[in-house]
Structure 1
Amino acid sequence: MRSLKFAVVGLLALVVAACRTAPVQNVSSQPFPADASKLSMAQIEESIIKAAGEREWIVQRKAEGELIATYSPRNHLAKVEIDFDQSEFSISYVDSTNLNYDGTSIHYNYNRWVNNLRQDILREVSAKAVLAN
C-alpha cells in the first residue's frame, strides 16, 4: 500500500511539472548592437532568418521589417511575429498549439524558446555588423 501512495504522488508530481505555465514574455524594442546601424534592412532580415533557422524556426516574410516565425518541436507549435528596423526588434506572441496558452500564461518552455531566439538574433546581427566593417 505504501508503494502505491508513492507511485501516485510521483505521478502527480510529474503531471504538475509537465503543465507548468508562466506569463507570456514578449520582447519589446530590443536594441541591436551599435554597429548594426551600418546594416541594411535586407542584411538585418537575412541575419534574423539565419538565427531563427539555426534553432529550427520556420520564417516567412510578412512585409519589410515584419517576419512570422514558427517553431514546432514534437507535438507543440509556437508562432511569433518579429518586427524590426535598423535599430531594434520585437518578438510578439501570435499563436500556439499544445502549450496551455490561456490568454496571459503559456507553458514555461515558450519563454525559453523566445529568449533563445532573441539571443541568437543579437549574436547573428552583431556578427554580420562586424563583417560589414
Structure 2
Amino acid sequence: MMLKRLSWVAPLALALSVSSAAIAARQVPIVNPQPVAVSSLNATKLTARQVRAAIIAGGAIHGWMLKNEDTGKLVLKLEKGKYYVELNLPYSADGYRIEYVRSENLNYEGPGAGASGPAQSIEGATIHSGYGRWLENLTRAINSQIAAAQADSQ
C-alpha cells in the first residue's frame, strides 16, 4: 500500500528535473554589445540629436519606450506581458552603446539579482535567451534609422 502511495514521487522528480534543465538551457550570458560607431555604418556624419532621434525611432519599432533621458544618455524600457527590460544607451555624434540595467521575470542570475536598482556588473550574469533576440532587433532597428538619417543628410 505504501509503495502505491509513493509511486508518483519518481515521475514528479523526473518532471521537475527536466523542467529545471529546460529553464537553465534557455539561460545565456548577458553581454553588452560593442559600441556602434556611426561612421562604421556610413561616412556621413550625424549630430548627437540625430543619433538620439534614431535610437528613439528604432526602439519604437520593437516596442521600446523612452523611460528617462539625461544629456548624452537615454534609458529605454521594454514591457512584453510579464517581462520587463531596462537599458542605458549613452550616445553622441560618434555613435551609441547599449548597457543592461535591469529586468523582471527574465530569470536574471548574477550580481544584484533581486535588487531594484541597476545591475552592479553583468560579468558572469545570465538571462533568458529572449533578451538576446530583443537586443539584436533593437540594434538592427537603430542602425537602420541611423542609415536612413545619413542618407537624408547626403
Query: For the superposition of Structure 1 and Structure 2, which TM-score range results when normalised by the shorter chain?
Result: 0.7 to 0.9
Higher relative strand content: 1
| Corresponding residue for residue 137 of structure 2 | 116
The structure number with the bigger radius of gyration is: 2
1:27 aligns with 2:48: no
CA–CA separation in structure 2 for the residues paired with 1:30 and 1:76: 26
For the Cα contact (< 8 Å) 2:78–2:86, is it kept in 1? yes
Please point out which of 49, 61, 66 is paired with 1:54. 61
The residue that corresponds to 1:91 in the other structure is 98
Q: Would the alpha carbon gap of residues 77 and 36 (structure 1) be closer, same or farther in structure 2, given more than 3 Å must change? A: farther
Given that 2:108 and 2:128 are in contact with CA atoms closer than 8 Å, whether structure 1 keeps it comes out as yes
Using the size of structure 1 for normalisation, the TM-score is: 0.83
In structure 1, runs of 5+ residues without a counterpart are none
> For residues 60 and 83 of structure 1, do their structure 2 counterparts lie closer, same or farther at Cα, with a shift above 3 Å needed?
same
Flag the structure with more relative contact order, 1 or 2, with Cα contacts below 8 A and sequence separation at least 6. Answer: 1
Secondary structure, in 3 states, of the residue corresponding to 2:63?
coil
Q: Aligned match of 2:22 in 9, 17, 25?
A: 17
Q: Aligned in 2, Cα 1:64/1:15: closer, same or farther, shift over 3 Å?
A: same
Distance in 2 (CA, whole Å) between partners of 1:18 and 1:94 is: 22
5+ residue gaps, structure 2, are 1-10, 111-124
CA deviations on 1:19-74 (whole Å, 9 max, x unpaired) are: 5211002123222223352x221111111100000100011342122000111111
Which residue of 93, 101, 112 corresponds with 2:108?
101
Residue identity over aligned pairs, in percent, reads 24
Instruction: Give distance in 2, aligned partners of 1:98 and 1:77.
Output: 7
Amino acid at match of 1:117: L
Report if the CA contact (8 A) 2:47-2:92 is conserved.
Answer: no
Q: Structure 1: how far apart are the matches of 2:94 and 2:50?
A: 13
Q: CA RMSD in A?
A: 2.3
TM-score under structure 2 length normalisation: 0.73
| Contact 1:82–1:92 under 8 Å retained in 2 | yes
Letter of the aligned partner of 1:68 in structure 2? V
Runs of 4+ in structure 1 off by over 2 angstroms are 8-19
Counterpart secondary structure, 1:43: helix
* Number of aligned positions between the proteins: 129
Give the structure with the higher percent helix. 1
